[in-house]
């Protein structure tokens, strides 16, 4: 009330003055640029210090969107005038508007994305209303929205990478893609983290057999979604397969050394899958006796129900990998 009374007093008594501060060209003509100035201000008269003046202006700005109806409109329309009466520069008023706008956007976007996952049309209308009440330009509003979304997504990936799952990583990157967010450029995900995301999503798929020689389109999808170079992803994929193959082979070798041939069935099936992906080039160091033993175990598997050509190809490639051609 007191704030609006002060604004009304200045308005009714025509205390404000219009001063020419420069010119600009409009339709090929030079026209004066006018700025409202106040001969008597709270700061100029020493009635308030800078901190208090800024606090009062901040209260005025907040009042524009915490009040409803005509009162809110009055606050909104009188904001710049009140700042001038206090003696604040237009730059300082804009800075305060921006700080409040950034905070409001952060809080709203964070709360909304936590509950709904993304912003819908109703949310965008709410933010457009806030934009008007704070006197923000479309560019400022877009900037605050992007920054707020980036903060939320950045926090989300930090939490996700503490215990990454393929489903969680897929949902996250698809959400970012749907929002037009590049993980590196927009959200600030480092290259090393992008690599870890790629590996964390493909390794479980390789182990389960979901990613195989007939179903490797998912690699291209992940690569494009993370915006990584195809060659880089191909190298990472091959390294992951070789690492898994070495692990499976070591397990098989250890079981055979203990005479537990029955325990090698699952890891041998894994090894054969990886070997098919790498076309027999697993880079393993295998002594001849072990190589023949592993091949003979696979050869003795019950292959009924499997594609005969694939089985024969697997056998030939396994010989290559075991060095017993």
pLDDT in tens, 206-215: 998 888 888 7
pLDDT at position 56 is: 87
DSSP state letters, 27-49: TTEEEEEEEEE-SS-TTTTTSS-
Question: Maximum distance among all alpha carbons in the chain?
Answer: 105
Lowest mean pLDDT among 26-40, 74-88, 276-290: 26-40
Q: Give the integer Cα–Cα distance in Å for 131 and 83.
A: 18
pLDDT at residue 178 greater than cutoff 80: yes
Q: How is residue 43 written in tokens?
A: 């700061």
Domain ranges of the chain: 1-88, 98-159, 161-228, 243-322
Query: Contact at 8 Å (CB) between 124 and 87?
Result: no
What per-residue confidence (pLDDT) applies to 22?
67
d(CA 20, CA 151): 42
Q: pLDDT by residue (tens digit) across 105-136?
A: 999 999 998 888 888 899 999 899 888 888 78
For the four alpha carbons of 293, 295, 298 and 300, in that order, the dihedral sign comes to negative
pLDDT score recorded for residue 321: 92
The rounded distance, in Å, linking the Cα atoms of 50 and 42 is 9
Q: Look at residue 84 in the predicted model and tell me its pLDDT.
A: 80
Structure tokens at 279: 């076309």
Residue 276 in this model has a pLDDT that exceeds 80: yes
């Amino acid at each position: 009330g007191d704030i609006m009374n002060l604004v009304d007093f200045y308005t009714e008594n025509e205390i404000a003055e219009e001063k020419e501060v420069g010119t600009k060209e409009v339709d090929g003509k030079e026209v004066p640029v006018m700025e409202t100035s106040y001969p008597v201000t709270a700061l100029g008269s020493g009635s308030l210090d800078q901190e208090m003046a800024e606090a009062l202006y901040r209260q005025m700005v907040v009042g524009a969107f915490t009040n409803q109806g005509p009162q809110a409109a009055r606050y909104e329309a009188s904001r710049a005038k009140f700042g001038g009466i206090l003696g604040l520069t237009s730059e300082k008023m804009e800075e305060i508007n921006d700080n409040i706008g950034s905070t409001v956007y952060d809080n709203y976007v964070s709360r909304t994305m936590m509950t709904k996952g993304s912003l819908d049309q109703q949310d965008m209308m709410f933010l457009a209303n806030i934009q008007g009440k704070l006197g923000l330009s479309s560019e400022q509003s877009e900037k605050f929205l992007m920054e707020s979304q980036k903060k939320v997504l950045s926090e989300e990936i930090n939490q996700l990478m503490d215990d990454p799952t393929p489903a969680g990583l897929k949902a996250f990157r698809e959400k970012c893609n749907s929002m037009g967010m590049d993980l590196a450029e927009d959200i600030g995900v480092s290259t090393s983290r992008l690599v870890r995301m790629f590996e964390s999503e493909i390794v479980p798929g390789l182990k389960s057999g979901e990613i195989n020689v007939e179903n490797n389109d998912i690699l291209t999808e992940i690569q494009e979604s993370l915006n990584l170079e195809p060659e880089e992803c191909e190298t990472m994929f091959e390294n992951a397969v070789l690492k898994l193959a070495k692990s499976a082979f070591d397990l098989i070798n250890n079981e055979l050394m203990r005479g537990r041939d029955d325990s090698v069935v699952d890891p041998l099936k894994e090894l054969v899958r990886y070997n098919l992906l790498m076309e027999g080039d697993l880079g393993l160091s295998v002594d001849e006796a072990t190589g023949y033993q592993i091949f003979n175990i696979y050869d003795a598997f019950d292959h009924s129900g499997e594609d005969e050509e694939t089985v024969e190809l697997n056998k030939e490639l396994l010989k290559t990998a075991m060095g017993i051609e």
